[in-house]
Chain A
Amino acid sequence: MSDQISLYAESIVGFARADGELAELTSELPRVADAVAASEELSSALTDSSVPVARRQQIIEDVLGATVSGTTIGVLSLIVATGHAGELGEIAAAVLRHEASARGEEVAEVRSAVSLTQDQLDRLSTALQAQTGRPVTVRNIVDPTVLGGVVTQIGDSVLDGTVRTRLNQLREAF
């Protein structure tokens, strides 16, 4: 699945770069993915296979048409049409990784229970850059399920410092 998502992301990046809207896409797609993940109603509507594809694409047009670029709408319509709306977050992350990789950078997905300040993001980016040896773009995702602390995924590496993981480790220790 991850290979398939990676291929999707590569194709989407190529498509946006050809349209000259790669910057808009990389800015908008993660935000849209976060918004869809946060709205159970929207997420259900886009992933419900009993709803015709055209209807789901129309929902995207209606909800997001006025706020995101045509390229982003086109990419979202493609993702919904191919039945991968459930993997929207992963596809968005993969798009960011590909785009950053093309620029010689890494993308770090940082999940925390509360938003990190810009200063914290910069310091974390610097620390991660020192670790990877490459410039790192940090993408902060607010995820209340982590309870507290931070978990960072950069490439295939995961740096987990969440309260949730500590509780899980405690649970397994019993």
Chain B
Amino acid sequence: MLALLAEAAASPENGKWLAHDKNEIIWGTLAFFVVVALLMWKAAPAIRKAMTGRTERIQAELDAATLQRTEAEGERDRIKAALADSDAEASRIVADAHETAAKLKENIAERTVSEIALLRERASADIDATRRQSLADLTGDVSRLSLGAAEQLVEHNLGDDAQQSLIESYIARVGVSN
């Protein structure tokens, strides 16, 4: 083919739009068709196959991309939902915390009041007990001191006459008891 084209190029122009040699036209045309037939016979299936493969590959890539997009959208929706849930959970936790704090405050207040009442009651009981104990101690001290003083008084004032009187009185009582 190249040789023919080179030969045609080397031939002188005949001033017409077709080549001046008819054989050249015929053979050129035949060669053209042969080449076209060869191309259609051998190259077309391969080209078609390549095109089909490419189409399939592109389709597969498109499908994969679609799938990924769908998955990404699903993930996006899930994250959005999770974020929404997180906000709701956070709100719920905050509400719970407020409620717990309020209850705790109320309980502490109630407990404090009851503890104060209990402490007051205990203090009152302690004061009463201490007062009673002090009174008993004081009474005991007074009686002990009084008796000690009485003992001293008796010891120093029991003269012989008093002793004899006590002895006579005792003997008389023993005699009477018979």
Tell me if chain B binds chain A: yes
Interface residues of A (CB under 8 A from B): 112-114, 116, 120, 123-124, 126-128, 130-131, 147-150, 152, 159, 161, 163, 167, 170-171, 174
Interface residues of B (CB under 8 A from A): 139-140, 143-144, 147, 150-151, 154-155, 158, 160, 162-164, 166-171, 173-175, 177-178
Q: Which residues of A contact B154 (CB under 8 A)?
A: 147-148, 163, 167
By Cβ-Cβ distance, the 10 closest A-B pairs, closest first, are A174-B143, A127-B175, A161-B170, A127-B174, A149-B166, A150-B170, A130-B178, A148-B158, A114-B163, A148-B166
Q: How far, in angstroms, from A150 to B158 measured CA to CA in the complex? A: 14
Q: Which residues of A contact B178 (CB under 8 A)?
A: 127, 130-131
What's the nearest-Cβ distance from chain A to residue B123, in Å?
30
A124-B174, A127-B178, A163-B158 known; A150-B151 Cβ under 8 A: no
| Contact between chains at B166 and A159 (CB < 8 Å) | no
| Contact between chains at B174 and A163 (CB < 8 Å) | no
Q: Which residues of A contact B147 (CB under 8 A)?
A: 167, 170-171, 174
15 residue pairs A–B, Cβ–Cβ below 8 Å: A112-B163, A120-B168, A123-B175, A124-B174, A127-B171, A127-B175, A131-B178, A148-B162, A149-B166, A150-B167, A161-B166, A163-B166, A167-B147, A167-B154, A171-B143
What's the nearest-Cβ distance from chain A to residue B170, in Å?
4
